[in-house]
Amino acid sequence: MGRIEARLQELGLVLPAPMDPPGNFELVTVHAGIAYVAGHAPIDGSAVLVEGAVGREVTVDEGYRAARLTGLSILASLKWALGDLERVTKWLRAVGYVQSAPGFHDNAKVVNGFSDLIVEIWGDVGRHARSAPGQGPSPLNVSRTRPMSAFEDLDAIPPQLLAGGYLARAVHGERLTLAVVEVEAGAELPEHQHDNEQFGIVIEGSVVFRVGDEMRTLGRGGIWRIPSGSPHAVIGGEAGVSASSLAVSVDASGVKQGGEHPTLEECSESSRELPAFRWRSGICVYCRDTRDSRRGSRRNGVGVAEFTSRLAVSADVPALTVVMDAAIAELQRAYLDNAEIASSRAIMGIDTQLIDDGTYFVVESSDGEIAGCGGWSRRATLYGGNQTPGRNSKLLDPTVDPARVRAMYTNPAYARRGVGRLILSLCEAAAAAEGFTLLELMSTLSGEPLYTAYGFRPLERLEDATGGAAVPLVRMEKPVNSSLLG
């Protein structure tokens, strides 16, 4: 019996039957080592245990109990999804929506029922950031639940790497797909076509479209309309591009009659052959195919790789060290001379504290090769490896201190393919989940263009001669995207 199961038994707690989701969604999804839990309520299977509004039909004490029962319902879903609650190593953030009567202001006291339960079971690692807004009538008339909304926040959707240098977030409706796409400078999507018309607008930066024999560069505010069946290619401009794209699903209704998605064989030929328009999860942006997509393919002689991400473990250290050594040696040559590169090894390299803290990510190619690595930290050390002097393991205060972005390295074989941006987005989301509102990092000259494109700004330029020759560095910061904060 594991420690968590033993603790549940010691407290006399019995998990209810997992809740039946009241819609077409998952109760728990896992991405990059983080479990995202859908809205829950005080429910045992399909039986509602507490109903009514707190402050009217339900007292504060009864609301506290409802929140505690909701916590047990969440644990039942986690156990069903993960197989073992021992896999939950840290609680990050909770949002408890309280169905409350007008004038009721003790929502926090109600949601304490959930927080107290988690800390009783997990101890200090159960302590989490939290908010407890009130709301009006809720689904199933339960006293505590998460709201069901008709709205989506694109920045809160985990990004997907569609192809080399192409990162996107998308929302699929019944008839349309809306995506915000970020393209690295110079990244090219080979010529392809869609069965349906496509519109888009440039938000920031610039992009080059080649439609037939016509080439056109679009800057901020530029709009494109690609007719159905028109071959075209896309190239990121000098500073990359952020753009919004709108497309129609393959069939007029977005899904087949009976609610089934089209199979892979029923997708358009262009969509089937171009994995850039399929999500890693197997959902095709344009044909919405639900089958698992192929993890890599070739079109017109251009390799297109898809990437997955996970948290690093101690067994990764030898392979990570190889990637870091290659990145230090090869990717800095345009910025540093040989003496400076050799000196930089004293202030770069593996920091196993990040792995131990569960804040270091690995991005892998379809064949399992490490394409890049990087992480963030809730500790004071700003940069350096295990061997670097002056390290400080003091824990930061999210209310006043910026989280650190640490040890970012890209395998030279996968440079300029969106790996760095993907890792940054994972770090930002994870830091936001722990309540940090600001990010800070120490950049090399070779990394500065990536961080600038992501939204970091320089604070100071300095040199570090720990390894002998002075190595130029740039301290940079960026506010956490407000949409990621509760």
Q: Where are the beta strands (DSSP E) in 193-307?
A: 198-211, 214-218, 223-226, 232-248, 296-299, 302-305
The predicted structure's pLDDT at residue 157: 59
Domain span holding position 174: 154-305
Q: Are residues 326 and 472 in the same domain?
A: yes
Q: Residue 317 — very low, low, confident or very high, per pLDDT cuts 50/70/90?
A: very high
Please report the pLDDT score of residue 159 as a whole number: 59
> What is the C-alpha to C-alpha distance for residues 126 and 109, in angstroms, rounded to an integer?
18
State the pLDDT at residue 300.
27
pLDDT at 402 over 80: yes
Same domain flag for 232 and 187: yes
In this structure, the answer to whether residues 299 and 312 fall within a common structural domain is: no
pLDDT for res 272: 33
Top pLDDT among 141 and 198 is at 198
Residue 263 to residues 177, 179, 293, 298, 416, Cα–Cα distance (Å):
18, 22, 11, 21, 33
Q: Does one domain contain both 299 and 422?
A: no
Q: What is the structure's pLDDT at 206? A: 83
In this structure, the answer to whether residues 77 and 197 fall within a common structural domain is no
Which of 272, 305, 338 is at the close of a domain?
305
- 13, pLDDT greater than 50: yes
Mark whether 286 and 347 lie in a shared domain: no
pLDDT tens per residue, range 30-39 = 876 788 888 8
Look up residue 113 and give its DSSP letter. Answer: H
Distance CA 66, CA 111 (A): 9
- Do 166 and 136 lie in one domain? The reply is no
Say yes or no: 332 and 301 in one domain.
no
Q: Is the pLDDT of residue 479 over 80?
A: yes
Q: How far apart are the first and last CA of the chain?
A: 35
Q: Which of 330, 422, 329 is nearest to 375 (CA)?
A: 422
Interatomic CA distance for residues 225 and 246, integer angstroms: 10
Q: What is the pTM of this model?
A: 0.46
Burial class (CB in 10 A: 0-12, 13-18, 19+), 399: exposed
Mean pLDDT confidence for 328-345 = 92
- Within this chain, do residues 297 and 312 fall inside the same structural domain, yes or no? no
Scan for tokens 């990764």, then name that residue.
Answer: 316
Across residues 402-429, what is the average pLDDT?
90
Range with the poorest average pLDDT among 132-136, 263-267, 325-329: 263-267
Q: Is the distance from CB of 379 to CB of 351 less than 8 angstroms?
A: no
Give the integer Cα–Cα distance in Å for 17 and 49.
12
Query: In the numeric block, which tokens belong to residue 344?
Result: 């930089």
The alpha carbon dihedral of 449, 450, 452, 453 has a sign of positive
**Are 226 and 247 part of one and the same domain?**
yes
Alpha carbons 379 and 431: distance in angstroms, whole number: 12
Please tell me the total number of residues recorded for the chain in this structure: 486
Higher-pLDDT residue of 409 and 288 is: 409
DSSP-assigned beta bridge partners for residue 161: 167
Which of 256, 271, 305 is the last residue before a domain boundary? 305
The CATH number of the domain where 425 resides is what?
Answer: 3.40.630.30
Of the ranges 67-76, 182-191, 284-293, 447-456, the best mean pLDDT one:
67-76
pLDDT value of position 134: 53
Does the structure show a pLDDT above 50 at 405? Answer: yes
Residue 137's CATH number? 3.30.1330.40
- The CATH number linked to 222 is 2.60.120.10
Query: Each residue of 165-195: pLDDT tens digit?
Result: 677 776 655 566 777 888 777 777 777 777 6
pLDDT of residue 165: 67
Residues 28 and 136 in one domain: yes
Residue with tokens 């263009």: 449
Same domain for 184 and 283? yes
Measure Cα distances from 156 to 127, 151, 282 in Å: 22, 12, 20
Q: Let me know if 6 is exposed, middle or buried by CB neighbors in 10 A (0-12, 13-18, 19+).
A: exposed
Provide the 10 A C-beta neighbour count for residue 433.
19
| SS3 category, 106 | coil
Question: How high does pLDDT run on average in the chain?
Answer: 77
The HSE-up count of residue 217 (CA atoms within 13 Å, CB side) is 9
Tens of pLDDT, residue by residue over 201-238, are 888 888 888 887 777 888 888 888 888 778 888 887 76
Tokens representing residue 97 in the block:
């929506």
Q: What is the pLDDT of residue 224?
A: 83
Cβ(191)–Cβ(233) under 8 Å?
A: yes
| Lowest-confidence segment of 49-53, 236-240, 441-445 by average pLDDT | 236-240
| Domain count across the chain | 3
Highest mean pLDDT among 224-233, 278-287, 356-365, 476-485: 356-365
- Given 282, 305, 328, the domain boundary residue is 305
From the list 208, 173, 222, 467, the residue with the least C-alpha distance to 345 is 467
Q: Tens digit of pLDDT for each residue in 249-277? A: 433 223 322 233 333 333 333 333 333 33
Q: Compare 302 and 213 and report the one with higher pLDDT.
A: 213
